[in-house]
Structure 1
C-alpha cells in the first residue's frame, strides 16, 4: 500500500511528488502484478546522481521492506553519506545504545546530526571498517597507525562544528567505535547473508557518559526484532537473562540487578553478570501462545548473538569466532541462567550452545531439563526464608509454630513468591498484589488459606483471580488493577487504616505497603520502597512510580527480599535505622545463584569424564539428579551462615573493626 511505501522513501531522504499505479496481467497463468511508478525528488530539492546511488538505495529499500532494517531518519545516510544499509544499521545500533546509557539526545537529533555532518559520518564509518573488517589484510599495528590518523582528522573536523551538542553527539559515536572490542558485523550465515542482528562487545570502563558502576565488559545486541544487553562484572561471571518490558531503559534495569548479583557472587563465584532482552515484534492482541512464541524467537536470536562473538575452547586452546577482529584478550567464559520471563528457556540456550559447539555444552545455561529447577526445588525462596526465620528468631518468635501476619508482592504462580508463601503453615497472608490483581483477606485462617495457596501453586498457570472466594474472610476479595475504582468493605478499611470508601487500584496498593504487619515478603518484580529523598530518576523503575512509598511509611517488623530490588539501598538503611529488620536482596535470595553455580561447576567437572567416554550423558544426568538435595542443603547452609555472620557482626559492632 501507498501508506507503507511513502514513509520508507521519505526516510531515505525523498519527497514523493506523484504516483501512478498499473495492473499488469500476464497472457498465460493467473499471476497478475502491480506496477507503481513514483516521481521522487530530494526533500531538500538538490540534484543527485541516481546511477551512483541506485544499488545502495534499492538494497536499503528492500531491507526495510523485508524487516531487516529499521525505518527512520538514519536511512538518509545511505544517500547523503554514501553508506550501505548495514553500515547505517550499525550507527542506528550505537544510537540505540546511547539511549540506554541515558545520553540526553533523542534518536531524531542523533540521526539529524550525522546527516548534517556527512563528511565526519563517512570518516566514522571508515574507522569502523578499519577496526573490524576481517578482509582488510591489515595487521593490528597498521590498524593502530591508520586509526590514529583518522581520529585526528575527525577531531580536526569537529573544530568546525559550531554546536556544542552536535560536537558531543559525534564524539559519543567516535567513543563507542573506539571502545567496541569486537562485533559480528562482518560474519555471514550459512547462506552467505549478514547476520540478522548487530552485536558489539564494549569495554565498559571506557564508554564515556555511562552510569556507574561500570561492568568489566558488555555485549549489546540490536536488530528490528530484538534488543538486549549482557553485562559482566569480570572474566568469570554468571547470571540470568530476563525478558524485559522496559524498552527505553532495559540497561538501567539490568545494571541495577547486576549490582545485587555482584554482591551475591562474592561468596560463590568471583563476580556476577546479568542480561536482558526486549522482543520488538510481539503480536498486538496476540494470544499467550503467540506472544510466548515470539518471545522465544527473540530470546534465541539474542543468545545466539552473544555466542557469535565469544571465544571457544578446543581442549585448552582458545578458538576465536570466525570473521571477528578482536581488540581484547582471549575471553571464552560466558555462562547464563534463567530469570524473569525465561524460567523455562534454559534448554533453548543450551541447544544454541551445542549448535555453536561451545565448549560448555549444556553447562552454558543452568536450570534446564538436565539441571536444577529453581521453582521445583524452591531454592531461592527457601534460602531467603532462612533470613526471615532468623529475623523472627532473634525477636523470640518461631514463625514455623506461631502465626504471623504477612503482606507481599507477587502471586502464587511465581517461583519465589509462591514457594515462599508455602514455607510456613502459620502464615496469615492478609494482602498481596502483582501486575494484574490485588488480593485482600482481612482475617485469614492459616490452615485453609495455606491449602488454597498450595492448590494455586500447583496450577499450570494461575493468578489471584483463581483464589476460591469462599475461602476469603468477610470483606475481602480479589480486585483487578485495571478497575477505575475499588469499593472498600469495612473490614478492608480497618485492615489498611483507610477512611475512604472507594480508592483507585494504585491507592489501594500504597495502602497495602503501609499496612501494619509482621512480614513484608518481596517475591515480584519492581521497586516499591525507597528513602524519602530519593527521586524516580535515581530509583530507575518508572513502571512503579505511582505505587511506591517511602521507607518511613512502612509498618512491618521484617522484610524478606526473595526478589531483587524491592527496596532501594537507601530505603533499607532508613528502614533499619527505624528499627526494622532487613538484610539485602543480595544476601536473602543468593541460594538460587548458589545452586546454579554448583550445577555449572559440576557439569564442567564431569565434562572430562564424558569426553573420555567414562560417563554417558544419561549417567551424568542421573548423577546430577541424585545430588539435588545435597546441593540444596549446601546452599541453605550458606544462607544460614551468611545471616548468622551479619547478626554477629551487628552484635559486636565496632569491636570487629579493631
Structure 2
C-alpha cells in the first residue's frame, strides 16, 4: 500500500471554508509531504508549486487559484492550482539533496492526484482501483510548471505514462516534447503587447522611441530576460534580484541592449556578470549582502533622492519609486501594496523591508510579466492616480495560453498516434514545426485582450451604470464576490461618478474575465456550439498547418465544445464589450446560443 493518503473533497459542502470555494479539492498527506490541488471546474488547469509556506500553504494556493481563474478566461480550462510542502528536508541542507527530496515529494504528490482520478480508455471512463468513489466521472486532470517545479514536467509525464493516463504527455505541458516558454519568450512577448499599448496611448512607440525602465529580476530569468530584449530602445536605469542590485544612471540604449543579450545567452548569469565598463558614471552592481551602499550624485539625480548612502533594502525601495517610464516585473514576490494594506495583508514576509506603497510609485506604467508583483488594491490606486496598468492575469496570460494550445494539440495528435495514423517521432516533428504558429495565436489573444480593455476604459465613465448592473446581477446570482475581487460597491461607484471617475483598467480587467467566463459557461451548455456555422470558431484555435493536415481530427476533438465556446466568448467580449451580452440578454430574453 502507498505511504500516503489521498482525499478528494467537495469544498462547497464544507462549512466556513475560506473563499473563494473551488469546485474540487484533492488533499495528499504523508509524514514526508503534504499538498493540495484546487480546481474551479471539471475542465481546469494551472501550475503545481513547491511551496515553502508549510504553515499556510493552502492559503497561498487558494490565492493563486483565484488569480488563475480570471487569467484562464482566455483559454478553455477554468483555473486550477496545486502546491506541496517538503516536511522532512535533508539535514545536510545541500542544494542537490534538497532537490532530490523535492523531486521525491513531487512524485508522491502526482501519484496522489492520479490515484483518485478517473481515466479514459477508448472513450470509456475507467474509475481508479482501490478507491471509494462518491463523485461523478471526472477525467480531466492537467498540470503545469510553477515556482520550484519549472523542470519537473517530464517527471510528471513519466508518471502519467506509468498510470497509462489518457492524456499522455499532455498531462504536464512544457516537457521535453512540449513548447519551451523561455525559448519562445512567450510570456514576456505576451506581456509586451500590453506594454506597447500603454505607451502607444501615451504617444510613445516602444520599438522606435527610447524610454526608461526599472526592472525586477535578472537576465537569466525567463520573463525578465526575454522582456528586456524585446526592444533595443530600452534604457534600463536599474534592476535587482535576490543577490544583486544593478544601477546604470545614464545608459546607452544600444550598448546596454547588447550586454543584456550577452547575459541572457550566458548560462546561469547574474547581474555580477555585467561588464562594469559599460555602466555609466556613478552606477554599478552591488551585493545585497553589503551593509551600506554609497549613492553617487548620478544615482541621486536619476532616482530623485537625496541620501548619500543607503542599505540594500532602501536602495531597492528607491528603485521601485524611481521617476521612470515603466516598472517591469519579471521576478517573484510582491513589491507594491496599497496605502490601506498592511504587510501582513500582502503575505510576502521576505520582501516586507523593500515593499513600497502605490502612492509612492513615480513610474508612468507597470508591465506585469511576473505574478503578484503588485496587489490588486495597489493597481487600482495607481490607475486612479493616472498610471497605466492592467493586471498580472491580463499581461502574462501568454504562458498559460501557450500551454493550453499545447495540451489541446497533443490531445488531438496523441489520438492519431494511438490509432497508428502517425508515429510519435512524426508527432514531435509536427509540434516543433508549429511553434511559430502557436506563438502567433497566443500573441493575437494578448493583443486583442489589451485592446478590449482600452475600448472599455474610454467610455468607462459614461457606461458606469451598465457595469454596475452587471456586477449587481453577477453578485445576486452568486457568480461574483465584489469584496473578494476588490470591485467598488454601488455607493463607491456613485461617488466616483460624481467626481468624473469610473472603473479603472485593473477593475475592468476583472470584469472582462468574468464576462468571458460567464459567456463561455453559457455557450458550453448550449447546443449551438455544435452548429456547423461555428466551425470557424473551433478552427481558429488551431494552427493552420494542423487544420490543413487533419481537418476531421480537429472537428472530432474531445474538447471541441469547450474550445468553440472559448473562442466565441473571447471574440464577443473583445469586440462587443464587457456588458454587451448582459444588455442584449436583458433586452431580448434570448439565451447565449441565440445571441452568439
Do the aligned partners of residues 449 and 245 (structure 1) sit closer, same or farther apart at CA in structure 2, a change above 3 Å counting? farther
Alpha-carbon separation, structure 2, partners of 1:208 and 1:235: 22
Matched, 1:242 2:20: no
Matched, 1:521 2:328: yes
From 432, 440, 457, the equivalent of 1:650 is: 457
Alpha-carbon separation, structure 1, partners of 2:121 and 2:313: 55
Alpha-carbon separation, structure 2, partners of 1:244 and 1:470: 39
From 101, 112, 120, the equivalent of 1:305 is: 112
Alpha-carbon separation, structure 2, partners of 1:474 and 1:229: 51
1:618 CA displacement: 0.6
The residue that corresponds to 1:254 in the other structure is 61
Task: Report the 3-state secondary structure (helix = DSSP H, G, I; strand = E; otherwise coil) of the residue aligned with 2:325.
Answer: strand
Matched, 1:561 2:368: yes
Q: Which moved more, 1:623-632 or 1:295-304?
A: 295-304
The residue that corresponds to 2:444 in the other structure is 637
Alpha-carbon separation, structure 2, partners of 1:463 and 1:245: 23
Asked if structure 2 preserves the Cα contact closer than 8 Å seen for 1:252 and 1:540, the reply is: no
Task: Report the 3-state secondary structure (helix = DSSP H, G, I; strand = E; otherwise coil) of the residue aligned with 1:652.
Answer: coil
Question: How many pairs align?
Answer: 465
Asked if structure 2 preserves the Cα contact closer than 8 Å seen for 1:257 and 1:564, the reply is: no
Alpha-carbon separation, structure 2, partners of 1:373 and 1:284: 34
Task: Report the 3-state secondary structure (helix = DSSP H, G, I; strand = E; otherwise coil) of the residue aligned with 1:402.
Answer: coil
Asked if structure 2 preserves the Cα contact closer than 8 Å seen for 1:510 and 1:549, the reply is: yes
Asked if structure 2 preserves the Cα contact closer than 8 Å seen for 1:253 and 1:541, the reply is: no
1:396 CA displacement: 1.1
1:325 CA displacement: 0.6
Alpha-carbon separation, structure 2, partners of 1:399 and 1:363: 36
Alpha-carbon separation, structure 1, partners of 2:42 and 2:102: 29
From 413, 418, 422, the equivalent of 1:615 is: 422
1:288 CA displacement: 3.5
The residue that corresponds to 2:141 in the other structure is 334
The residue that corresponds to 2:254 in the other structure is 447
Matched, 1:212 2:19: yes
Do the aligned partners of residues 655 and 494 (structure 1) sit closer, same or farther apart at CA in structure 2, a change above 3 Å counting? closer
Using CA pairs under 8 Å that are at least 6 residues apart, name the structure with larger relative contact order, 1 or 2. Answer: 2
Measured against aligned partners, the alpha-carbon deviations of 1:128-151 in whole angstroms (never above 9, x if no partner) come to xxxxxxxxxxxxxxxxxxxxxxxx
1:376 CA displacement: 0.4
1:367 CA displacement: 0.5
From 374, 382, 388, the equivalent of 2:181 is: 374
Across the aligned residues of Structure 1 and Structure 2, the Cα RMSD in angstroms comes to 1.7
Task: Report the 3-state secondary structure (helix = DSSP H, G, I; strand = E; otherwise coil) of the residue aligned with 1:493.
Answer: helix
Alpha-carbon separation, structure 1, partners of 2:205 and 2:239: 23
1:402 CA displacement: 0.9
Structure 2: state its 5+ residue gaps: 467-582, 584-596
Matched, 1:545 2:336: no
1:297 CA displacement: 2.2
Q: How does 1:550-629 map to 2 (within 5 A)?
A: 550-629=357-436
TM-score by length of 1: 0.68
Alpha-carbon separation, structure 2, partners of 1:644 and 1:577: 19
1:537 CA displacement: 3.2
TM-score by length of 2: 0.75
Alpha-carbon separation, structure 2, partners of 1:247 and 1:484: 30
- Relative to total residues, which structure has the larger strand share, 1 or 2? 1
Q: How does 1:498-509 map to 2 (within 5 A)?
A: 498-509=305-316
Task: Report the 3-state secondary structure (helix = DSSP H, G, I; strand = E; otherwise coil) of the residue aligned with 1:499.
Answer: coil
Do the aligned partners of residues 458 and 572 (structure 1) sit closer, same or farther apart at CA in structure 2, a change above 3 Å counting? same
Asked if structure 2 preserves the Cα contact closer than 8 Å seen for 1:264 and 1:586, the reply is: yes
Structure 1: state its 5+ residue gaps: 1-187, 189-194
Asked if structure 2 preserves the Cα contact closer than 8 Å seen for 1:378 and 1:415, the reply is: yes
Alpha-carbon separation, structure 2, partners of 1:248 and 1:456: 37
Alpha-carbon separation, structure 2, partners of 1:439 and 1:252: 34
1:440 CA displacement: 1.3
The residue that corresponds to 2:528 in the other structure is none
